Structure 1
Amino acid sequence: MAKQACLHHGSVSQHKKPASRGVWVQGQCRLCRAAIGPRVLVDRNSSLATAAPPWLPKLASPTRKKRAYGALLKSKRWQVLRLERLSLDGYICQSCGGVADQVHHLPSAVYGAEELSDLVSCCSTCNLEERSARITKAVLG
């Protein structure tokens, strides 16, 4: 049976439910709690009952996340949102006041489902450094 990630979020965590003969183990989306992959009954003393299933690292791999993020950045929708946010902020970094050439995602945003209010204009230095946390804090309060 093929293993799959949540269609909306791509993030996976492990869900365990006790059973009389062992433990039911199933993948679960961290954000929407949707069930992912097969439900497997394992012995209570099994490593699967206490550790992540062997397929979990593949679903939440950095490579898969990078690929999805790269696709988002190339999308027409993202390009329009990005230019709109930069234009609204007057191409001014909201952290240091320098020239903004990037857009920071606020953590509450789900990649691919951003709204204009989930984005903040910033310069490349502020976006890469810990200042992005300050941007987030300043905007979210």
Structure 2
Amino acid sequence: MLTRLAYRINLTLERFFPEQRLFLKSETTTRFIRLRPITQAVGACFCAVALAWTILATSILLMDVISSGSSRDQIQRQTGLYEQRLNALSADRDLRVAEAAGAQDRFNLALAEVSAMQERLLASEDSR
């Protein structure tokens, strides 16, 4: 079954890839290797896939190089973004410091009022 299928595939491919013989000569003997059409077709497919991958990888690399511009421009953009983030964090920190100082002032005011109330309470206890 598989032999018949391989034979039919080889017959179909023989129009495009005729059978080739590769001769290998040594000092004493000559040998040859038959390259059947299916073997040649598989080799051609591998070559086509390798060529397509090479073209795709090269185009991706070229697009990346072109789109990023020069590295100096990219570094300047990143530096600007970094400074903006630092300024935003600094402003947020200053806001938190102001809130903490306000809370501390309110706490001190409340303590002063409690102290005054305790003094009046002690004074009223002493006067009794």
Q: So what's the TM-score if we normalise by structure 2?
A: 0.22
Q: So what's the TM-score if we normalise by structure 1?
A: 0.21
More helix by share: 2
The structure having more radius of gyration, on CA atoms, is 2
